[in-house]
Each structure stands twice: as structure tokens, then as C-alpha cells.
Structure 1
Amino acid sequence: MNTTLYKADSRGHANHGWLDTHHTFSFASYYDPDRIHFGALRVLNDDKIDGGTGFPKHPHENMEIISIPLYGDLAHEDSMGNKSVIKENDVQVMSAGTGVVHSEFNHNEGKRTEFLQIWIFPKKENVEPRYGQHSFKPEDRINKFQLVVSPNKEDVPTWVHQDTWFHLSNFEEGYSSTYEFKKAENGLFIFLLEGELNVEGHLLSKRDGLSITDTQKVQIEATQNAHFLLMEVPLNW
């Protein structure tokens, strides 16, 4: 088993006034040659957006884009004709494919929105753009691995064009479980949102990340109540 710990305070950071953002991997003005991506996981941004502000219309192509609101909500519009609001417990996916333009806006004056913006390299380029959104029950992730992203449309509406599986979990203090990989050649990236975890001897605190390769299963124990995201992704595709 090979592991790399990404401490929260080692991430790239930018504060644009309306947007306060941390980058686990190189993004925009933050560049670290040792942190370009982890396999197919290209971007993991931890964003906070002030009320009455947001991202104006901008283009993407050939990327699987996943948004997970943690607090508050975001209004979404895109060139496919979709208009929606994503809220806590929702997961949004957008396959940019041949090209899509979208915007995200926090219309709630005086209330900050927090969300994860995640990009995954697709296994097939130039697909027809598509949009998916689904609300997941938080009680279904208590001491469980709740599947929220999959390559299989039969599993969840929030499927993507890559052999990647995302799970959200809320482990109660003292609870322990083993995550077993879906594909032998994949890697796993754990991102701790709240609390404290012991993962194979590594103690993770809030907003720490841990990459894991060369194994088929990982033991995860909550040393405090813990909310976290598991991202299993291909290392080569």
C-alpha cells in the first residue's frame, strides 16, 4: 500500500473577496508540479461563495464535472437548457464533452454557500454533453458508504463517463469499516469534510486528504464523528 497525505493547510488558496477557495490540486494561479492530479482526479476545489455572487457563464469541454453542496445552495444554468438549484445533500454531474457553457450563482443575500467542485478526466472524449442531479438521503450514509457517483447509469442518476465511484459517509465516533475497491487497478482519494479519521494509521483532520494505491481494501475508523468523501478513480485510462 502506498499513501500520500495532503494536509489541509498545504493546499493552494485564493481569496477573491466574493470567492474563498482552496485547491488540493494545481488550479488557476496555484501550481505545484507534484500536485497536478491523482489519476483521473484532476480538480478538487473547496469553494465558499458569498451571497449575491457567483461564477458567470464560462465554457468547459471534455471533463466530467461534479458539484457537491455542503452548505447553502447554488443556482445553475447551462447551454443545454437546464435551470436548477443544487442544495445540501444534492450531487450534480455535468459531462462537458464536445462543449458546454454554464453559470453558478448564490442568490441568497447574506448567506454563504460552500461546495466541492471536482473534475474527472473522462475515458471517452467528445461525447454529447449531459446533465444530472439527484438528492441523496443523509440518513443513508450514517455508518455506511453511500454511493453518489458511478460509471453505471443503472446505479445512480449522477453517473459519469469514467470508471470512478464516489461515496459519502457519516461515521459515528468509534465506528470502523473496510472500503473494498471496485476495480483492482484503481486508486482511492479520501477527503475529510468534518471530524477526525484514522485511515491505515494516518490521522486525518478537517479538510485533509489521503491518496491510496496498490491495495484492494482500506480500513477506515472514526476517532471523532466524521463526514467524508471517498473517490475511487482510475490511475491510468
Structure 2
Amino acid sequence: MTDTKTRIEVRPFESLGAANHGWLDAHHHFSFADYYDPACMNWGAIRVWNDDIIQPQSGFPPHPHADMEIVTYVRTGAITHKDSLGNEGRTEAGDVQVMSAGSGIRHAEYNLENEATTLFQIWIMPNRTGGSPSWGAKPFPKDSRTGAWQVLASGMEGDSDALPIRTNARVVGATIKAGESLSYEVGAGRSAYLVPATGAIEIDGHHANARDGVAIKEGHITVKAIEDAEIVLVDSE
């Protein structure tokens, strides 16, 4: 049996890379922009997991991406998307948008609300480079994932209700009531990264607070909510 002391690593929020630009307060689970840590370049196919607070009436002006699957999970507020393909959309708290950058796309993401928007932006490396870029969004009511994992975005066979991504990975979410537990199986040769958006949890005896990162190697895990918790997990090769 694999020792959970070496299979599960908690990365406290306070230890993450950070940059406060005024309009944007960003925390980086992995090396990004001016934050560089050779020990935290990626986890499996996950290249970026940014925890962003975007102030009202501000945001990211148009900029390019290529060859990356970019998943945005909105925690509070809303984000408004525009891109070079002519797509426009507003994604609200609890909902998800996905951009497959493919051969290249320019996009802008703005908080046009009168309150701060908080979100996770997750970049996952694709199975293949190139291809036509695309964008999509979908509502995922939180009550539909109370006490159960819901697949939000996936490139895995059988996940037809999820937003599609071009990688052998799965993004799942759950809400867990205090005192209740959920199990998850990380398959052989795979890894997972889990972040509580809210609430404190324990994973096989390892404590994690809201916005901490938990890096998990293959095997079975049990997530117990110490407080009511909202969870996002990415399972990848």
C-alpha cells in the first residue's frame, strides 16, 4: 500500500506565489509570470492554477494564447469573455467556461460587475498541438453536486455532459456538508490536484483550508468536510 504521507502533499495558500497589481490580486499554485519555482512547474498535465481576485470594472485586455486548454471556474461574481472568434459570454459564480486555444486565439476577460470577482483559472496541456480554437460555457448549479462529484470539463470518454477539453483530463466539482465525506479514485499512472474554494477539509488525515492546494498521486482518497466545503479537483495523466 502506498504511504499517504508521500502520496498526498498539502500546499498552504500562504506558501503560493503571489502578485498584487491593484486591479488583480493573483496567487499561483504553479510557476507563472514573475513567480518561478522549479519544484512547482506543473502537476501531471496541469500547467497553471491561478487563484484570482479581479476588482470591479477591470480585467484582462485582449491577449493571445495557443496550445492550451484553459478552464475558468468562477467562485463569486461573474466574468465576461470576448474573443477573436466573435464569441461573447458572461459566466457566473459556480459556472465554468473553457477555451481550447488550439492554433491561436485572442481573448479578453473582464469583471463588469459592481463587486469583486473571484475565480480559479486552470491551464491543462493538450494531447496534441494545433487545431481550430474554440470557446464554450455552461451553468452548473451547485445544488446538483451536493454530496456528489460532478464532471465540469473533460476529455475523457463517457463524460458527454461536461464541457469538452482536448486532453486526457477531467475537472470535477462537489459541495460537501460539514461532517460528510466523498471518495475519489485517482487511476493508475494519473495524479490529481484539489483545491477547496471554501471550507476546511481532511483528505486521508491531511488537513487543508480554503484555497490550499492538495497534490495527490494515484490511488483512493476520502475527502471529509470539516466545514461546509466547495471543492474543485483536476484528474490528469
Same fold (TM over 0.5): yes
Q: Would the alpha carbon gap of residues 157 and 228 (structure 1) be closer, same or farther in structure 2, given more than 3 Å must change?
A: closer
Q: Which amino acid aligns with 1:118?
A: I
Taking the aligned partners of 1:65 and 1:130, their CA distance within structure 2 comes to 11
CA contact (8 A) 2:151 2:162 kept: no
- Quote how far apart the aligned CAs of 1:154 are: 5.4
TM-score norm. by structure 1 comes to 0.94
2:138 paired residue number = 134
Q: Is 1:21 aligned with 2:26?
A: yes
The percent identity for this pair of structures is 35
2:55 paired residue number = 50
CA contact (8 A) 1:188 1:230 kept: yes
Match of 1:123 among 105, 121, 127: 127
2:74 paired residue number = 69
CA contact (8 A) 1:132 1:157 kept: no
- Quote how far apart the aligned CAs of 1:137 are: 1.6
Taking the aligned partners of 1:171 and 1:154, their CA distance within structure 2 comes to 22
- Quote how far apart the aligned CAs of 1:157 are: 4.7
- TM-superposition CA deviations, 1:137-192 (whole Å, max 9, x none): 211111111111111585235110111111111100111121123x4221011111
- Quote how far apart the aligned CAs of 1:226 are: 1.1
Match of 2:102 among 85, 97, 100: 97
CA contact (8 A) 2:54 2:118 kept: yes
- Quote how far apart the aligned CAs of 1:70 are: 0.8
Q: Is 1:233 aligned with 2:236?
A: yes
- Quote how far apart the aligned CAs of 1:197 are: 0.8
Match of 1:35 among 34, 40, 52: 40
CA contact (8 A) 2:151 2:159 kept: no
1:4 paired residue number = 9
Q: Secondary structure of 1:144's match? A: coil
2:118 paired residue number = 114
Match of 1:200 among 204, 222, 225: 204
Match of 1:185 among 182, 189, 192: 189
Give the gaps of 5 or more residues in structure 1: none
Q: Is 1:222 aligned with 2:220?
A: no
TM-score norm. by structure 2 comes to 0.94
- TM-superposition CA deviations, 1:3-25 (whole Å, max 9, x none): 22111100011110110110010
CA contact (8 A) 1:200 1:219 kept: yes
2:165 paired residue number = 160
Taking the aligned partners of 1:177 and 1:89, their CA distance within structure 2 comes to 19
Give the gaps of 5 or more residues in structure 2: none
Bigger CA drift: 49-58 or 152-161? 152-161
Q: Which amino acid aligns with 1:89?
A: G
Q: Secondary structure of 1:185's match? A: strand
- Quote how far apart the aligned CAs of 1:60 are: 0.1
4+ aligned runs moved over 4 Å, structure 1: none
- Quote how far apart the aligned CAs of 1:89 are: 2.2
Bigger CA drift: 56-65 or 79-88? 79-88
RMSD: 1.3
Q: Which amino acid aligns with 2:101?
A: A
CA contact (8 A) 1:41 1:119 kept: yes
- Quote how far apart the aligned CAs of 1:108 are: 2.1
Q: Is 1:210 aligned with 2:214?
A: yes
Match of 2:151 among 144, 147, 150: 147
